[in-house]
Amino acid sequence: MTVDRLMIEAVAAHPLFRDLPAAEQRAIAECTGETVFEDGAMLMRQGDQAEHFYLILYGMVALELHVPGRAPLVVETLGKDEVVGWSWLVPPYDAQFDARAVGMVRVLAIDAACLREKMARDHTLGFVFYQRFLPVIADRLHAARVQLMDIYSHPADYAEAPSAGKKRGKGKR
């Protein structure tokens, strides 16, 4: 299989794959292309098959959740070097969010079926890939939980002792 020299370099340069053995970098590069999305373009759509996942080289991608009758809600934005999408790893491989370009976005697009097939054949590739992908997922899950905590809310919204006594603001700031 022939693969673009520049694509191998692009994969090898990404923080996620930087320290992989050359063979694995090459295998991933064989499934990778580079793509540009214009402002507002969709990288993936909620409910569709996740045919690709993306590594952002430039620009910002918004993950949106759609609720009928409401404006699309951006739950998270992703920037340079970040991973867009892991539904392609989880059967039945349906995308769970809309991913939309905010401004022009340049990405490495990895063909999900191609990589899945290689990982199924080469468990070493599968292992090193999961080894790098899982911390990304854990980190994002952690961030999502902190985001859920609504830590900047007005204290009265989440008072530990409901306003049974006197309410006094004694904190600095």
Partner 1 sequence: MQADGSNPARVIFKEGLQVLLDRLKAAGYQVIGPTVREGAIVYRPIDTVAALPAGIVDEQAPGRYRLGEIRVGEQRPLFAHVVGPDSWKRWLHPPQQLMWRAERKKRGIVFVSASAGGQPPRALLGVRACEIAAMRIQDRVLAEGEWPDAGYRERRKGVFIVAVNCGRAGGSCFCASMGMGPEVTEGFDLALTEQVDAESHRFVVTAGSPSGQRFLDVLPGQPASEEALRRAREQTAKTAAHMGREMPADAGSVLRASLDHPHWEAVAGRCLHCGNCTMVCPTCFCTSMEERTALDGKGTERWRQWDSCFNASFSYLHGGPIRNSGAARYRQWLTHKLAHWEAQFGTAGCSGCGRCVTWCPVGIDITEEVRALGTPQETMRHDGG
Partner 2 sequence: MTADPMIPMPFRVVRQRHELRNVVTLTLEPEAGGRFSFQPGQFNMLYHFGMGEVPISVSGDPAKRRLRHTIRSVGAVTHALTRLRKGDGVGVRGPFGAPWPLAEAEGRDVVLAAGGLGMAPLRPVLYAVMARRERYGRVTLYYGARSPADILYRKQLERWGKRRGIDVRITVDKATPAWRGHVGVVTRLMSREHFAAGNTIAMLCGPEVMMRFSAQTLNRLGVSDGRIYLSMERNMQCGIGLCGHCQLGPTFICRDGPVYRLDEVLPLMKVRGL
User: Which residues are near partner 1 by CB under 8 A?
Assistant: 155-156, 158-161, 165-166, 168-171
Nearer to partner 1, 127 or 158 (CB): 158
Considering only residues 63 to 92 of the shown chain, the ones binding partner 2 according to CB under 8 A are: 71-77, 79-81
Rounded to the nearest 10°, the torsion over CA 77, 28, 96, 127 is -110
> Is the distance from CB of 46 to CB of 97 less than 8 angstroms?
yes
At residue 131, φ and ψ (nearest 5 deg) are -55, -35
Q: Which does 77 bind (CB under 5 to 8 A by kind): partner 1, partner 2, none?
A: partner 2
- CB atoms closer than 10 angstroms to residue 153: 9
Nearer to partner 2, 2 or 153 (CB): 153
Q: Report, in Å, the least distance between residue 113 CB and partner 2.
A: 29
**Span near partner 2 by CB under 8 A; candidates 48-56, 110-118, 125-133, 162-170:** 162-170
Nearer to partner 2, 5 or 154 (CB): 154
**CA nearest to 61, candidates 96, 32, 104:** 104
Residue 131 binding partner 2, by CB under 8 A: no
Q: Count Cβ atoms within 10 A of the Cβ of residue 95 and give its class: 0-12 exposed, 13-18 middle, 19 or more buried.
A: buried
